[in-house]
Copies of this chain bind each other. A is one copy, B any other.
Amino acid sequence: MTVEDVGERGLIELFHTLIDSFPHAVLPYGDDAVGIPFGNDVLIVNTDMLVGKTDVPPGMTYWQVGRKAVVMNVSDVVAKGAKPMGGVFSLGFPRGTTRDEATDLVKGLNAGCREYGFYYLGGDTNECSDLVVSGAVFGIVGRNKVVSRSGAQPGDVVAVTGHFGLTTMGFKILFEKLSADPKTKELGLRAIYEPHARLKEGIVLSERGFVSSSIDSSDGLAWSLYEISQMSSVGFIIDSIPVPKEVQMFANEHGLNYFDLALYGGEEFELIVTIPSVKWNKAVDAVKVVGGNLYPIGIVTEEKNMVLRLPNQTERRIYPKGFEHFKR
């Protein structure tokens, strides 16, 4: 039996059975990042590996590759409420990579770190058959401010920090060669090439104690909701996903369901949070103050189902599907 047979998620579960549990873990195994007690604070550390073969779509520049490796790592750290303090990145270059390409990649790494308020501190340089950028970004958060995936309560509002569907549209344009007008194409590709992590939103939401659970949406909206559902033992009724009108039009033109594009994508680095309804108005205001948005998309339910309620009030099941390595 090979790693392809097991699949990425199967491997993650398998590895969990093989390793000794850290007795003082602040976050459970499998959360977005790891958390280690540190005086009155918690050190949050995340590692994410970008691999050329699977994570670099055609047309992406080396600068964008470097910057994306930062965004991937930052997103998980801020989803736990921590402000990044620094990052280290180990690089693997295939032979034949040019000096200029390596230069652009490191400039992108540096630019990404500076964009999120910290520094690229160092790393390791290697030869590798694939282009690999393996980062570790760490940050600090108060002991009682850490946000796991497991605190969602029935009745909480489910909210997201941005729109969904642009990256799936971009991938369909790029890989399936679906047609789109230049402006729509540009929107989809920009979402893929230059994603954004929601630092300000994540920090203010944890700092002010607004959220009961949080996850970043990098594996797709549906899969991320499923993770919260599993770890919090709750369900969801989702009734208003923010989907850009360009994605809705693109879906209509190609006979696709735009909710599917929004739910079953990936590589979107929005935060998905649950917020007790009494705190909702204050949370919306606080996120606005830092320049962000909070879109309510539904409600947490006791029953562990994930339901999409359509505008015409019919309901559909949301499936636990998303991007998975080895499974394509």
Chain A residues in the interface with B (C-beta under 8 A): 1-6, 8, 11-12, 14-15, 18-22, 25, 29-30, 33-34, 36, 39, 43, 45-49, 51, 53-54, 85-86, 88-93, 95-100, 102-103, 106-107, 109-110, 113-114, 119-130, 132, 134, 136, 138, 325-326
Q: What residues of chain B lie closer than 8 Å to A113, measured between beta carbons? A: 20
- B47→A125 contact, CB < 8 A: no
- B2→A96 contact, CB < 8 A: yes
Q: What residues of chain B lie closer than 8 Å to A325, measured between beta carbons? A: 125-127
New A-B contacts (8) at CB < 8 Å, excluding given A30-B122, A47-B89, A54-B127: A3-B93, A8-B126, A36-B85, A36-B86, A48-B124, A51-B126, A93-B326, A132-B132
The answer to whether A51 and B92 touch (CB under 8 A), given A36-B121, A130-B130, A136-B45, is: yes
Taken together, the copies of this chain in the complex come to 2
CA distance A115 to B34 in the complex (A): 20
Binding site of A, secondary structure by majority: helix, strand, loop or mixed? mixed
CB distance from A95 to the nearest CB of B (A): 6
- B92→A45 contact, CB < 8 A: no
Set B34, B54, B100, B123: member contacting A126, Cβ < 8 A:
B54
- A90→B22 contact, CB < 8 A: no
- B326→A127 contact, CB < 8 A: yes
Q: What residues of chain B lie closer than 8 Å to A45, measured between beta carbons? A: 86, 88, 121, 136, 138
- A22→B92 contact, CB < 8 A: no
- A20→B119 contact, CB < 8 A: yes
The answer to whether A34 and B92 touch (CB under 8 A), given A45-B136, A49-B134, A138-B138, is: no
CA distance A14 to B119 in the complex (A): 17
Chain B minimum-CB-distance residue to A88: B47
The answer to whether A99 and B5 touch (CB under 8 A), given A53-B129, A106-B15, is: yes
